[in-house]
Amino acid sequence: MTGPAPSSNLADQVAYRVGLSFPVSRKGAVASAIARLMTRRGIGDSRSFLDRLGLDEDLTDDAIAAITVGETHFFRGPDQFQLIRQTILPELRRRSDGSPVWIWSLGCATGEEPYSLAILCDQEGLLDDVRIRAADISRRALVTAKAAEYGEWSLRKTDHKLKERYFTSCEGRFRLHERLRRQVDFAHVNLGADELPAAERGLADFDLILCRNVLVYLDASAVRRTARQLFACLADGGWLLTAPTDPPLWKYAPFETSVTPAGVVYRRMMGHPDTSKRSASRVPSIRHQTKKPLARIPPARACVTDARKTLGDNAVRAIAQQIRSRFDIGETRDAERLAAQAIESHPLSAELHFLQGLSQMTHGETDAAAAALRRAVYLDSDLAAAQFFLGVCLKHRDPQAALRALENALLFCVARPPRERIALISGVTAGHLAERARREIGEIRRHLGSEDL
């Protein structure tokens, strides 16, 4: 390799070769990760490295692992799993045509997410009536997923009763029971390159798609393309869940969008003119589920809103200014109350959720504040202020999640001129917030026993 480190141009080429793309704010981190990989593999020439990508599957998987975050565990994102349990599955269960429920875990990594879905469906008496597909870009991760054997770290947030019920323990490893493992089919999918839907591969007409922590690895043009593909992959009435750090999709495809306590939820509504019929290759019916249906727990009162409607930007700005005025004179409870009331009318305003979270932080209500800030990040992942304060809220309860949020804030800030003003927090510049983020990151890493800043 010539020069001190791979350039952002090389980062773009590597990402393209492995089927990924990245926003500008992440190019520096990607280039550094590639440099470390090339050093580790003893590859000194950029051209040689590029030529081997795609031909050498082991090196390609190493590159994917280096420039993505492989962090996952069973039942990651418990609020979304609760939404699936309480709202989505009961609604799908009431379908009268007797056909199976099709679920797709896209970006499944080493399989914890689709197997969590299998466990959840078994708990609800639906395991025989669902078909779960899972896909990832990393062939190495898929090998691990198919083995369905995990260490304690993957199960660190799983109730011990679930571990006893669904896993066989042997010498510190946990093997998922075979009947659940058989319920998940795995496939290699490159979301950045593959054409979707692909009915011939069984990748179409899904009732529920989970595509979480995947879109963050795509640039704006790839996000637009993927949004349209995911919409086309949904069946009539199907649901799509993304992650808090993923970019919003409602601008790019005709989803009906809701803001729920679990974050933003997308749907392809019944009767949409582009809706296609279910693939004829699928089994038309299976054994009817006779267990008494679960009672549906509706989403929160403020959750259902069409994101395509005008949000009333002028009204939101006026309300936000009123909330800030209360906050600035110390009337933080009034500020929190006003924010909550405003969110009922404007649930897709990231600024209002941010102000609600900030007000809750002043009263030590970190769990509620973190939930509000997550909603702000769902709505606009580029809000460095929301990412920063989310990290502050989480640093004692979930330091790894706090690090991710703070690093997102730092990456955003270092990609901006140091004197550029940061949205949502008056008088704070990109340089100032970057320094504060570095201090918080350093404190967390020292607490975790690591000096690798």
Q: What is the pLDDT of residues 440-450, one digit of tens each?
A: 998 888 888 75
Distance of CA 277 to the CA centre of its chain: 28
User: Contact at 8 Å (CB) between 87 and 299?
Assistant: yes
Please tell me the predicted confidence (pLDDT) of residue 426: 80
pLDDT tier at 310 (50, 70, 90 boundaries)?
very low
Summarised one tens digit per residue, pLDDT across range 206-249 is 999 999 988 877 777 888 899 999 999 999 999 999 987 788 88
Dist. CA 398–CA 119, nearest whole Å:
24
The angle at the Cα of 201, spanning 200 to 204, to the nearest 5 degrees, equals: 85
Q: Which residues contact 188 (CB under 8 A, 6 or more apart)?
A: 135, 136, 137, 139, 142
Q: What is the mean pLDDT of residues 422-436?
A: 90
Burial label, 63 (beta-carbon count in 10 A; 0-12, 13-18, 19+): buried
Summarised one tens digit per residue, pLDDT across range 315-368 is 788 888 888 888 888 888 888 889 888 887 777 788 999 999 999 988 888 888
In this predicted structure, the answer to whether residue 112 has a pLDDT above a threshold of 90 is yes
Please tell me the predicted confidence (pLDDT) of residue 277: 41
Summarised one tens digit per residue, pLDDT across range 376-410 is 887 887 899 999 999 999 988 888 889 989 998 99
In this predicted structure, the answer to whether residue 301 has a pLDDT above a threshold of 90 is no
In this predicted structure, the answer to whether residue 8 has a pLDDT above a threshold of 70 is no
Tokens of 262: 């679990």
pLDDT tier at 22 (50, 70, 90 boundaries)?
low
Dist. CA 24–CA 218, nearest whole Å:
10
Q: Decide which of 381 and 419 is more confident.
A: 419
In this predicted structure, the answer to whether residue 307 has a pLDDT above a threshold of 50 is no
**What is the number of other CB atoms lying within 10 angstroms of the CB of residue 193?**
12
Tell me the C-alpha to C-alpha distance, in Å, between residue 256 and each of 104, 138, 266. Answer: 19, 31, 6
pLDDT tier at 286 (50, 70, 90 boundaries)?
very low
pLDDT tier at 31 (50, 70, 90 boundaries)?
confident
Please tell me the predicted confidence (pLDDT) of residue 32: 78
Distance of CA 224 to the CA centre of its chain: 16
pLDDT tier at 7 (50, 70, 90 boundaries)?
low
Least confident among 128-142, 148-162, 290-304, 406-420: 290-304
In this predicted structure, the answer to whether residue 267 has a pLDDT above a threshold of 90 is yes
Comparing CA positions, the residue from 220, 223, 168, 162 lying closest to residue 191 is 223
Amino acid present at 164: E
In this predicted structure, the answer to whether residue 1 has a pLDDT above a threshold of 60 is no
Of the ranges 35-39, 40-44, 196-200, the best mean pLDDT one: 196-200
pLDDT tier at 374 (50, 70, 90 boundaries)?
confident
Tokens of 252: 């790019």
In this predicted structure, the answer to whether residue 162 has a pLDDT above a threshold of 80 is yes
Comparing CA positions, the residue from 369, 370, 372, 351 lying closest to residue 360 is 369
Comparing CA positions, the residue from 249, 247, 145 lying closest to residue 188 is 145
